[in-house]
Structure 1
Amino acid sequence: MEKVNYTISERMPTVLEHKQLWESVGWGSLNTEMSERSLATSLYGVTVTIDGAPIGMGRIVGDGVMYFYIQDVAVLPSFQGQGVGKAIMRHLLTYIEKRRHDDGIAFIGLFAAEGKTEFYEKFGFKNGFPQMTGMLTVLD
């Protein structure tokens, strides 16, 4: 497999990049007004490009001290399996490690798309804990 020659930038994706990558991985249609506000309040983001065109992204939301939530890790399907997602995760986890409180733990959460749990397990994520139940509701 040929190595992908990409650039990873410590910046939030633009609203249009976010929409393009979101929709390319099958997460449905994205409201750009909502996306713009959500991106603006994120803690940190990375955008991966080739010749200026976006091929991947990831961001972190949370309180920046104790709770961090990895969000929107997406790589264009044609570039998946080539190390782009791993590079995104390394950047996100490094950010958390540097910014979490020195004397406390950091809770890091994420939701994995169907079929992607094995990818996140390589970074130490587990599907729940015996003493905790992950729960979710969506208001639409």
Structure 2
Amino acid sequence: MAPPSVDDYLRLRQESGLSARTRQEAENGINGAWASAIVIHVESGDAVGMGRVLSDGGWYFHVIDMAVLPDHQRKGIGDAILAALLDRINAHAPNAYVNLLADPPGRRLYARHGFVESAPASIGMKRV
């Protein structure tokens, strides 16, 4: 599973409502994922969805960059992307610890795939 191009990555993030990234950030990071999935619209040839996984390759797996363009949402694309990433993780590490940070629009999708809130046992934190 190849990552999206830098242009597709930046466009998918922006148009789906994720935070903007710089071209340099995208160029530096796009090939650093353990796994990537991208959905290409057959008729137009355009990338309409993506997801990536960061990992140590052994036990820890972190789902990132889940994005589907608004005109293509609610058609099962997010489910297909997440299922493909989770299938790859399960084939490689059946007892993996898989986590993600869930913004409100994606929470129902993640719950359908077995994700639950980790609080209060643990909470997501970030450096500011």
Q: TM-score, normalised by structure 2?
A: 0.91
Question: Runs of 5+ in structure 2 lacking a partner?
Answer: none
Aligned counterparts of 1:67 and 1:114: Cα–Cα separation in 2 = 23
Identity %: 28
Paired positions, count: 126
Give the aligned partner of residue 57 of structure 1: 50
Is the deviation greater in 80-89 or in 35-44? 35-44
Residue aligned with 1:72, SS: strand
Give the aligned partner of residue 123 of structure 2: 134
Aligned counterparts of 1:71 and 1:91: Cα–Cα separation in 2 = 14
Q: How far off is 1:25 after superposition?
A: 1.6
Whether 1:112 aligns to 2:106 is: no
How well do the aligned residues superpose, as a CA RMSD in angstroms? 1.4
Whether 1:76 aligns to 2:69 is: yes
Q: Give the AA of the match of 2:60.
A: Y
Aligned counterparts of 1:28 and 1:58: Cα–Cα separation in 2 = 15
Aligned counterparts of 2:63 and 2:20: Cα–Cα separation in 1 = 20
Q: How far off is 1:129 after superposition?
A: 4.8
Whether 1:45 aligns to 2:32 is: no
Contact map agreement 2:51 2:65 (CA 8 A) in 1: yes
Give the aligned partner of residue 23 of structure 2: 32
Residue aligned with 1:116, SS: helix
Give the structure with the higher percent helix: 2
Q: How far off is 1:112 after superposition?
A: 1.4
**Greater radius of gyration (CA):** 1
Q: TM-score, normalised by structure 1?
A: 0.83
Aligned counterparts of 2:18 and 2:11: Cα–Cα separation in 1 = 11
Question: Runs of 5+ in structure 1 lacking a partner?
Answer: 1-9
Q: Any runs of at least 4 consecutive aligned residues in structure 1 with deviations exceeding 2 A, and if so which?
A: none
Aligned counterparts of 1:33 and 1:76: Cα–Cα separation in 2 = 22
Residue aligned with 1:115, SS: helix
Aligned counterparts of 1:29 and 1:58: Cα–Cα separation in 2 = 16
